[in-house]
Structures are given as structure tokens and as C-alpha cells.
A and B are shown apart, each in its own frame.
Chain A
Amino acid sequence: MAKNRKNQAAAIRFGPALKASFLCLLIGGSAVGYVWQKNEIYRLGQQIRQRETKLAQLQNDNKRYGDQISILHSPVMLDQRARELNLGLAPATPMQVVRLMETPVLPEKNSLRQLAQRPVTDLTP
């Protein structure tokens, strides 16, 4: 025999309440998660943008410093500096250059490489 609903005890029915709470939490959590996710996307987007700008800036700086090094190493700049500082530098004359001429390889046994050594003072006329 079925129970009379009117005479049922006024106890809290946990099942449906839990279900409702869970549903509410799910919907609420989804909403908060969605907003959080959107917020994160925006925040990360801003970070990406800032880092892209920073990267471009660093690349520009890198190029600029590379150029500066290259310019300071250029023969024209070195010549100019040598004149400015009055270093008395001059190109070596052919007489000051020692050339090492290699003879053809001979099949001699136990011949050792002999490098003639000359004092540096002898090379300057």
C-alpha cells in the first residue's frame, strides 16, 4: 500500500537538496571558471604583447650594439683613432714582412720541421 504523502514526516530530503546544490555549484563554478579563464586569456594576452614588444626592443638593441662594434672595428675608424691618438702607426713595408715559404714535401725520413727563428729587431730596417 502506497504511503500517504500528506502524512509523510516533514524531514529534509537530502537527495534532491544535494542535487540542487551540486547543480548550483556546477553552474556557479562554470561561470566563475569561465570568467577566470577569460581574465587569464586577457592577462596572458597582455603579457604576450608586452614580451613581444620587449623582444623587438632587445633585438633592436642587439642589432644596434652589433653595429656599434662593427663600426668601431672598421678600418676607417681604426685609422682615424690611430691618427687622433698620434700612435705613430704605419703600415708594414714589404721589407718588414717575413714570409715563410714552404718547400715541396720530400720523402725524407726523420726530417723535422725547422723553423728559422730570427730576433724581431733584425726584421726592422
Chain B
Amino acid sequence: MTNKQQIRRALLLLALLAGAFGGLAYRLVDLQVLRHDELSAKAELNTQREFWQAPRRGDILDANGNILATSVAVKMVCADPSLIGNFQPLVAHALAPLLKLNEAELAQKLTPHLVRDAKGEVVTNNLHYVRLAKNISDETWQQVTAAMTNLTFGVDEKRLSRIEKGFLRNLREHALFSEPDQLRVYPNGSLASQVIGFPSVEEAKVSGRLVSQIVGRDGVELALQKQLSGVAGWRVTETDRAQHELVALRDEDVHPRDGLNVVLTVDTAVQHIVETALADALQKHTPRSITGIVMRPKTGEILAMVSMPNYDPNQPNTITPETRNRVITDVVEPGSTFKIVVVSGALNNGVVKLTDQFDCDHGHFAYAGRVLHDHEAFGMLSTEGIITKSSNIGAAKIGIRLGEQGLYDYAWDYGFGQRTGLPLPGEARGILYPVKQWSKVSIAQIPMGHGVAVTRLQMLYAMAAIANDGWLMRPMIVSRLQERDGSVVQRYAPGRVRQVISDATSQQMIEALKTVATKDGTAPDAAMKNYVVAGKTGTAQKAENGTYAPGKYVSSFIGFFPADNPELCISVVMDEPKEGYYGGKICGPVFRDIAERCASYLNIPPDPKLMTNAPSLVVENAAR
């Protein structure tokens, strides 16, 4: 009996043990086999971390290596509100002055809020991560960490329990942390701002974390965004409980590739000269806007490009539509500067000579039902005289002699009605209608710069072609791309587009244009002391709502020097100047000011003919 009972008990115990072990075995299979993938992923998530490594955005440099835009390493200050408990006011009080934030707002940020998520469930928002301040320098961050370490809570911490002490230690050490960030800085402020452009900060979610990225919004910053931004790196690694990286367990470690430095053709000194000269003119003539460009006609390199009003890219609130780069974005009727197109075209085609005489009808010329006027009553003028005096009627008659198709072809060949190819965003094509859309009077109007619309750059581009033996050079603003160590990755060479007029015609045009900056011409104030200037004035009435607005002009002077060996081609254009409006009168002196200072800075040899009492020293080469 006893034996049987013992056997039953033993069997019962065995069954229980077998059941228990069976259960354990099932759990083992469940954890290790059935849910292996899910649980191993979870386990990895607990220890493995993926860090995104931001590349450093490339700098923008001028032709001499001066910094125009650079990136500075700063910190983004973040907090873990779950570690702050009820000490938000205390922490906010300590940090607000350092982070230059409002104390109440900071305390609010540090407080977890209950919100409903997409599924409608109530969750604690910002429980572990909230951003407090951006663009914090290393020095400030040191002060922040010191302030956190020295926080006092008004209690005797020796009497606190172990848990409470741990909480306060966590608060001091881990409640605030920083993330590396970059700040785009423009050391010269508004200098060349429209060429450089400005960036904005965009946020993207990478590995579940918000990551800030600098993205160009205008100018070179936008045009060369890809080259400047570089390629991000990453690091897959494991961390300990205190979130310190366990370097030995690093899995993947791909370093970021920094963005390339962009070297411009712009020369900071020339840009500064132009900006100061234009700022003075802006104050004197109070135009709506004023632009200036300096280009090397032989290469197409742009040494300065200014449009005022401008902005300071360090202060995004100064950026408005009014501060756009009008040199390339705005189109205007050029006025008399366009006469260079018709006259050079006619000379090149051989339909006129410089000495040919034209009757300028004493300032009134009826054509196709319209009467054209000159600013003065001229009688007979030679082709050269038409340029010298800027006769509209003379230019119209040359245009009629050249013919509609001829005029259109030359205008097109000079690059009007198409983009110049300058690598800056927002360049306008201008307006050059095909001949079939021309009215009867177009052939008389276009030669005097009406009925076409051009950008300031296009007009300079055409003048530079005349200065360069008729060769149109592609305008250059970017010289090369290079690594941080200075090794060149890509160099942009000057590029010839086409020869619009022959060398001989170019020389004839230069001879005619030399007469403009003389006492007989329309821009005597553009004449330089030691250099012969060749150029052309322009004064175009502005068109508004289909008619020409009285009293509103676009005044310009485009010229180059030394006329016989052109080094610089300079354009100055004012939109709606208030004090005076003739291009030669108001833009000519600005041109001269810029040209003389640039000549001195760039050490351009003066014209020997104009050098009186100049020291000339001759070094004889030694033949050994």
C-alpha cells in the first residue's frame, strides 16, 4: 500500500517536473528560435548605436584665398526633460542667461507635456530629447556644463537616499548634452553677398534623430550646393549604460568627406572698391538700385559684382526681394549702350565705315509713323561721331542700313536673348524678339536700345567682346574647386564662346569708343588721368505699363581701359536716379573712381602717351 502510494507520489512529482521542464524547454525554443530575429534586433537596439557624422561645408574663397564664407563648429544644446524632475525653474534660472533665452520659455521647454500621438494615445512629448539652443560656442558650452555641475538644490544632499543622490547626479551630468553643429559665417558681412548667396538650415531625420543640414538658398551657396556640402559619414558602435562609446565594439566607421572649397574669380579688394564707390553714388543720386561689375575682358573673369541695396548673409532678416542680384535677374531696356551692337555689326559687315557721314536731321527723324529724337540737334555726323555724341537718329539709320536680320543676328551673337552661362541661379535671358515679331519701327528703335531688354551682365559681356578683339568670353565667377589642403580638384579655364566681330572691326570700335570719354563725347567725366578709356553711355527711359514713364531713367556707363590693351571692363548702372539722369554725367564719375582705384590696386601699367614726368627706368639684360 505504502509502496503504491510512494510510486504515485513519485509519478506525480515526475509529471510536475516534466511539465515544468517542458515549459522551460518551450520558452527556450520560443525565445531562441521562434522569436530569435525579433529579440536579437531588440537586444542590438539596446546597445548598438548609429552615429551620423556631418561633413564640414566647404569654404568660399576669393581669387587670393581670402575667406568669403566659412563654417564654424558650434554646439546645439539639448536636454533630457525626464532627468530634470521638478527642478525646471531652477535649471532654467541657471541656464537662461548663458543661452540668452527667456527663463519662463526655457522652463516650459524642459517640462514634459502630455500630448496625443497619431494613434490617439496619450504620450509624453519630448520626454528624452528637447532642443534648447542652437549655435552655441565651445566657451558658452563650457559655462553651461559648469553651471549644471554647480547646481544646488537647497537640500542637504548627504541626508538623501541613494536613489535621490543618483537622481541629482544624473541631473547634473546627463540632463543637458550637446550635439555638434555648424554655423555658416560670412566674415566680410555684406561684401559680395549676392554672389556668395545665403544658406538656410534644414532638418532631416537620420537614424531616428533630427539632423541639421546647411542648404544654399542663393548665389554660389545654391549653385554649388553639391560640391560645398560634402558627404556624410557614419559610425555603428555600441555604448555602455552611461552612453559612452565602447570603441572596441565599433562596427562600421566611415569618415565624412568634407565639402570642397570654392575659389571665386572675385577679388575682395576690387569688390570692396566697387561697393564703396557705389555706396557713395547711392547716397548722392538716391537711385532705386545701382549695380557695378568689373570683368577682365581677355578671360571673362568677374572680379566684382555688386548690386545695391544688398544684404548681410549673417543676418537673414536683411534679405528681401529688393536685395536680389539685379546684375543677372533684372532686365531693362539698355538705351544707348546698345549702339555698340548695331555700329559694330554694320562695320563688320562692311555696310558702313567709321568715316561715313549720316544726316541726323537736327534731332527729328520720322520713320514708320513715329518720330525719333536726339538729346541734341545734330546735323551731319560720321559713324564715329554717332558713337561720340550718342545720336539715336544716326544709330537708327545705321540699323536700317544693316537690315533687320543682320541686326538680329549680331544681337544674338553678342549673347542677347540667352543666358551667358554664369553659374549663378536666377539669371534672366533678356528679351530679343525674332525678326518676324518686329514692328516696322523696331529696326529704328532697337539700335538705340529700345525694344530689347537685357541684363546688366549681358551688356557688359558684349562690351567685353569688343575689348577682346571681338571674342566673346564666357563669364567666369568660379575659378576652381579645391580640397581643404589646397589641392585642386577642378579648375575652370576661360572659355571662348565665339568671335562676333573681326579684330579689325574691334579696333575700329575701340577708336570710336575712345571718343566718348573726351570733352566732345557724352562722358568726359569718365576720363582717367593716366589711362585712355573707351566706353559708352546709356540713358534709357523706363517702360511702365506699356508706356515710357516720364522722369524715370536707367542710366549707365560701360567702359574699359587701357583702351589699347584692355585689362578691365567696368559697368555702372543706376535705376531711377534722382539727382541727374544722363549716364555720362552720373555713372561716368563712378566708373572713373572705380577704374582708378582698381588700376592702382592691380598695378595696371598706364598708357605711356598719358604719362608725363613719369619715372621710366630701363634695365638692360646682361648677356653672359
Taking Cβ atoms with an 8 Å cutoff, the residues of A that contact B are 41-42, 44-46, 48-49, 57, 60, 63-64, 67, 70-71, 73-76, 79, 91-95, 97-109, 111-116, 118, 122-123, 125
B204 at the interface (CB under 8 A from A): no
Contact between B66 and A75 (Cβ–Cβ < 8 Å)?
yes
Closest to B246 in A: A45
Contacts of B616 in A (CB 8 A): 99, 101
In the assembled complex, how far is the CB of residue B238 from the closest CB belonging to chain A, in whole angstroms? 10
Closest to B598 in A: A91
Contacts of B621 in A (CB 8 A): 102-106, 113
Contacts of A111 in B (CB 8 A): 620, 622-623
Contact between A95 and B530 (Cβ–Cβ < 8 Å)?
yes
Contact between B606 and A94 (Cβ–Cβ < 8 Å)?
yes
Contacts of A93 in B (CB 8 A): 530, 600
Partner of A74, one of B188, B613, B615, B623: B188
Contacts of A44 in B (CB 8 A): 247-248
Contacts of B617 in A (CB 8 A): 98-101, 115-116, 118
Q: How far is the CA of A73 from the CA of B65 in the complex (A)?
A: 10
Closest to A90 in B: B600
CB-contacts of B5-59 with A (<8 A): none
Contacts of B138 in A (CB 8 A): 57, 60
Q: Which of B67-75, B277-285, B539-547 contacts A (4 or more CB under 8 A)?
A: B67-75
B489 at the interface (CB under 8 A from A): no
Contacts of B614 in A (CB 8 A): 94-95
The 6 closest A-B pairs by CB, nearest first: A45-B247, A75-B269, A91-B600, A94-B606, A113-B622, A105-B621
Q: How far is the CA of A109 from the CA of B272 in the complex (A)?
A: 50
Contact between B247 and A49 (Cβ–Cβ < 8 Å)?
yes
Q: A60-B73, A118-B617 are in contact. Are A97 and B603 (CB under 8 A)?
A: yes
17 contacts between A and B (CB under 8 A): A41-B248, A42-B246, A46-B244, A67-B187, A70-B66, A74-B187, A74-B188, A75-B66, A75-B269, A76-B191, A76-B268, A91-B597, A93-B530, A94-B530, A102-B619, A102-B621, A116-B618
Contacts of B269 in A (CB 8 A): 75-76
Q: How far is the CA of A64 from the CA of B182 in the complex (A)?
A: 12
| Contact flags B594-608 to A (C-beta < 8 A → 1, else 0) | 000101110101100
Number of interface residues of B (CB under 8 A): 39
Closest to A102 in B: B619
Q: How far is the CA of A113 from the CA of B617 in the complex (A)?
A: 13
Closest to A72 in B: B187
Q: How far is the CA of A64 from the CA of B130 in the complex (A)?
A: 29
Contact between B66 and A74 (Cβ–Cβ < 8 Å)?
yes
Contacts of A113 in B (CB 8 A): 619-622
Contact between B622 and A75 (Cβ–Cβ < 8 Å)?
no
Contact between A99 and B67 (Cβ–Cβ < 8 Å)?
no
B435 at the interface (CB under 8 A from A): no
B361 at the interface (CB under 8 A from A): no
Contact between B600 and A99 (Cβ–Cβ < 8 Å)?
no
Partner of A46, one of B247, B268, B613, B623: B247
Contact between B268 and A75 (Cβ–Cβ < 8 Å)?
yes
Taking Cβ atoms with an 8 Å cutoff, the residues of B that contact A are 65-67, 70, 72-73, 138, 187-188, 191, 244-248, 268-269, 272, 529-530, 597, 599-601, 603, 605-606, 611, 613-623
Q: How far is the CA of A93 from the CA of B530 in the complex (A)?
A: 9
Q: How far is the CA of A98 from the CA of B611 in the complex (A)?
A: 12
Contacts of B247 in A (CB 8 A): 44-46, 48-49
Contact between B599 and A114 (Cβ–Cβ < 8 Å)?
no
Contact between A118 and B66 (Cβ–Cβ < 8 Å)?
no
In the assembled complex, how far is the CB of residue A3 from the closest CB belonging to chain B, in whole angstroms? 48
Contact between B272 and A70 (Cβ–Cβ < 8 Å)?
no
Contacts of B597 in A (CB 8 A): 91
Contact between B272 and A76 (Cβ–Cβ < 8 Å)?
yes
Partner of A114, one of B67, B187, B272, B620: B620
Closest to A125 in B: B613
Contact between A74 and B619 (Cβ–Cβ < 8 Å)?
no
Contact between A91 and B601 (Cβ–Cβ < 8 Å)?
yes
Contacts of A118 in B (CB 8 A): 615, 617
Contacts of A107 in B (CB 8 A): 623
In the assembled complex, how far is the CB of residue A40 from the closest CB belonging to chain B, in whole angstroms? 10
In the assembled complex, how far is the CB of residue A104 from the closest CB belonging to chain B, in whole angstroms? 7
Contact between A67 and B615 (Cβ–Cβ < 8 Å)?
no
Contacts of A125 in B (CB 8 A): 613
Contact between A92 and B619 (Cβ–Cβ < 8 Å)?
no
Partner of B618, one of A92, A97, A101, A112: A101
Contact between A103 and B272 (Cβ–Cβ < 8 Å)?
no
In the assembled complex, how far is the CB of residue A110 from the closest CB belonging to chain B, in whole angstroms? 9
Partner of B615, one of A98, A106, A112: A98
Partner of B67, one of A45, A71, A104: A71
Closest to A107 in B: B623
Contacts of B622 in A (CB 8 A): 111-113
Contacts of A123 in B (CB 8 A): 615
Contact between B600 and A92 (Cβ–Cβ < 8 Å)?
yes
Closest to A68 in B: B187
Contact between A103 and B619 (Cβ–Cβ < 8 Å)?
yes
Closest to B530 in A: A94
In the assembled complex, how far is the CB of residue B525 from the closest CB belonging to chain A, in whole angstroms? 19
In the assembled complex, how far is the CB of residue B558 from the closest CB belonging to chain A, in whole angstroms? 23
Q: How far is the CA of A21 from the CA of B566 in the complex (A)?
A: 96
In the assembled complex, how far is the CB of residue A122 from the closest CB belonging to chain B, in whole angstroms? 7
In the assembled complex, how far is the CB of residue A117 from the closest CB belonging to chain B, in whole angstroms? 9
Q: How far is the CA of A73 from the CA of B62 in the complex (A)?
A: 13
Q: How far is the CA of A61 from the CA of B282 in the complex (A)?
A: 40
Partner of B248, one of A42, A57, A97, A103: A42
Contacts of B620 in A (CB 8 A): 103, 106, 111, 113-114
Contacts of A64 in B (CB 8 A): 72-73
Contact between A70 and B67 (Cβ–Cβ < 8 Å)?
yes
Q: A45-B248, A95-B611, A106-B623 are in contact. List 9 more A-B contacts (CB 8 A).
A: A79-B272, A93-B530, A98-B615, A103-B618, A103-B621, A112-B622, A113-B622, A114-B620, A125-B613
In the assembled complex, how far is the CB of residue B150 from the closest CB belonging to chain A, in whole angstroms? 23
Q: How far is the CA of A101 from the CA of B605 in the complex (A)?
A: 11
Q: How far is the CA of A74 from the CA of B70 in the complex (A)?
A: 14
Contact between B615 and A122 (Cβ–Cβ < 8 Å)?
yes
